[in-house]
Amino acid sequence: MNHTDPNTGWGAMTRLLHWLMAALILAQFAGGWIADQLERSPAKADLMTAHKSLGISILMLLLLRAAWRWTHAAPPPLPGALAWEKTLARWSHFLLYVLMAAVPLSGWLAASTSRIPWNFFWLFPWPRIAQPDQDLHHRAEDLHALLIWILAVVLATHILAALRHHFVKKNDVLRRMLKGR
Amino acid sequence: MLHRPATLTGMLLLLASSNVCTAQMESWTSQPADTSLEFIGHYENTELRGEFSDFTVRLVREANALPIALEVHIGVDSADMDDADLNEEIQQEDWFYSSRFPQASYISRTIRTTGTNRFVASGTLSLKGMEKEVEVPFNWSQDSAGAQIIGTLELARGNWNIGSGEWANDETIADRVTVHFSVRLLRSE
């Protein structure tokens, strides 16, 4: 029998940020992949502006989330959690935080090193973190692509693990990120 | 019937061979140093600049007096926007289509004076297979070594189908393109 101690769930803010960022990240995977298939066109330019704007938004949300995580204790592992599960969870979550920062940062670097400017949600020009440079631009694009693959692998593990906890082990790991308590 | 020769050389030969007493003609030709021909596009309210490196300018004027003819020839595939992606894009069919239209030209036989050393040339800009009348204002300044003509004008790229198809609307990339030139001229004959 599994039950959740009322004091060991995730708070509302944590859950909101988790699912909001999950949705945005999945949208970014889709949007980025589609943009890559398109020929240069006004539609592609618009899609790229949306992609870059969302990427920066994710970076901002990540700052908020990191600050929140730092100041609000995580619930303890559930009873019955095995040592390897706890270790893998700790490392993969840490890796996710690193990737959630590195992926948009590499994208920002790639955008900065292209001569083409862009406006944040079509409103105002977004600043560069580097000067236009063809060579650096290509390397930043390659880095962005590599990091996305790594993120995809870690995310797949994360999602499969959550589903395993829910359907195989039948515990509250997924439930407490969905409902909290 | 007197017909206007197509080339500057033809015009000079005609004038030289005519029996009418004409003022001495001077022919001035552009030099690569201190010379630039740039275009400025407007993408989402920011400027994207490019310049041509392959072009020649010839100006004919009456001796120590007024310019009477201006001719510019441009190798369109020399356009450089300092970005590999942009440079590749602008040579495509929707833009300059340089594989089919490698040369652009501006020919003017009518130049009026608008001030001291300030002129406006009226002529034809041939670009991407289209010919349209364009006025080109310029200042003339002369020193012991040569002369410099400087001018700025705005063109509607749509008139020459530059940026056609999906790019034809004014939203992403503005229809107006600013052209700026500063050309060093030396007298050639």
Residues B5-54: tens digit of each pLDDT: 566 766 666 655 543 445 689 999 999 999 999 999 998 878 999 999 99
Q: Measured between alpha carbons, how far is B162 from B167 in angstroms, rounded to an integer?
A: 9
Asked if B32 and B52 count as a contact pair (C-beta separation under 8 A), the reply is no
Mean pLDDT of A7-32: 92
How far apart are the C-alpha atoms of A147 and A101, rounded to whole Å? Answer: 10
**Whether the Cβ atoms of residue B139 and residue B152 lie closer than 8 Å to each other:** no
Helix (H) / strand (E) element for B68: namely strand B67-75
Tell me what the mean pLDDT of segment B163-170 comes to. 90
| pLDDT average, residue stretch B137-162 | 96
Q: What is the pLDDT of residue A47?
A: 96
Partner residue opposite B172 with nearest CB, options A45, A115, A134: A45
Residue A2 is predicted with a pLDDT of 40
Three-state SS at B75: strand
Helix, strand, coil share (%) of chain B residues, nearest 5: 15, 55, 30
Q: What percent of chain B has pLDDT over 90?
A: 76
Beta carbons of B14 and B5 less than 8 angstroms apart: yes
Nearest CA to B124 out of B70, B76, B161 is that of B70
* Alpha-carbon gap, residue A172 to A163, rounded angstroms: 11
A40 interface with B at CB cutoff 8 Å? yes
- Each residue's pLDDT tens digit, A56-102: 999 999 999 999 988 988 888 888 889 999 999 999 999 999 999 99
**B172–A116 CB contact, under 8 Å:** no
User: How high is the ipTM of this complex?
Assistant: 0.70
From CA A159, how far away is CA B89, in angstroms rounded?
41
A96 CA: distance to closest CA in chain B (Å): 33
Q: Is B166 on the interface with A (CB under 8 A)?
A: yes
